[in-house]
Each structure stands twice: as structure tokens, then as C-alpha cells.
Amino acid sequence: MQSQPPPGFVLPNILSSPTLKCQDNLTNWIVKPISQDKQAKIDKKLLDAVIYDNLAFRIVKNPYFHEFLKELAPNYSPPSAETLSTKILNISFSTYLAKKFKVMSSLTDITVALDG
């Protein structure tokens, strides 16, 4: 015979509890490869961060930086300092110049001021 709970005892509804965490799916543990487009986007964001904060390109050689990146995106392989400072920088700068030339081609008047 099963024992009954004491009078006034309310069994908590653990299924609706906000602290109850559902079991992870197996797919959450599978590390998916990064597409070339995603790799290029992350590389560009890395370059933007390096340029914005005036960091040395060699930050990508830092083992703690690698650990940080692996924690965020296990399949991301950062570019070498040389690749970041040449190929990726050149592509980014070329894209930037193309946007500026497009804007400048639509201008009818321009003023150039020099100091010094």
C-alpha cells in the first residue's frame, strides 16, 4: 500500500518549473564544419576588431586567443598573421575603396581642403 502525503502537502509540478532544463539533443554536441562564407565573415570581423582597437596582427598567434576562439566556435581556424595583414586586409580595403568611389562618382561638386 502506498503512503499518502501529509495533509496540506502540495506536490510541486516539476515539469512546468522554469529551472528544469530539458535534455540536450545529440545534434547539439556535433560540431558542424564552418562554410567558406562563414569563415570569410568571421575573418573580416576579426580584421575589423584588430583595426578598430589598433591591435597587432600577431594577436592571432596568441595561444590564449586561440583558446578563446575555440570556446566560441570550435571549428573556426583563424588566419595567420600574414594572411590577415595581407590577403584579408587587401580584400577589405578594396571593398572599402570601391564603395567610396561609387559614392564619389555620383557627386557633382567636391571641395578639397588642406592644412599645413
- pLDDT value at position 30? 75
Q: Across all residues in the chain, what is the average pLDDT?
A: 86
pLDDT confidence of residue 16: 59
DSSP string, the chain: -PPPPPTT-----GGG-TT--PPPPGGGGSPPPPPHHHHHHHHHHHHHHHHHTT--GGGGG-HHHHHHHHHH-TT--PPPHHHIIIIIHHHHHHHHHHHHHHHHHT-S--------
Residue 104: inside a domain, yes or no? no
Give domain status of residue 24, yes or no: no
Structural domain contains residue 26: no
49 lies in some domain? yes
Is residue 43 one of the residues assigned to a domain?
yes
- The reported pTM is 0.65
Residue 83 lies in a domain: yes
Confidence of residue 91 (pLDDT cuts 50, 70, 90): very high
For the stretch 7-60, pLDDT in tens is 776 666 655 556 656 667 777 677 788 899 999 999 999 999 999 999 999 999
pLDDT at 66: 94
Within-domain flag for 106 = no
* CA dist list (Å): 92 to 26, 40, 75, 88: 38, 11, 23, 6
Q: Is residue 16 part of a domain?
A: no
Count of domains for the chain? 1
- Domain span at 59: 33-96
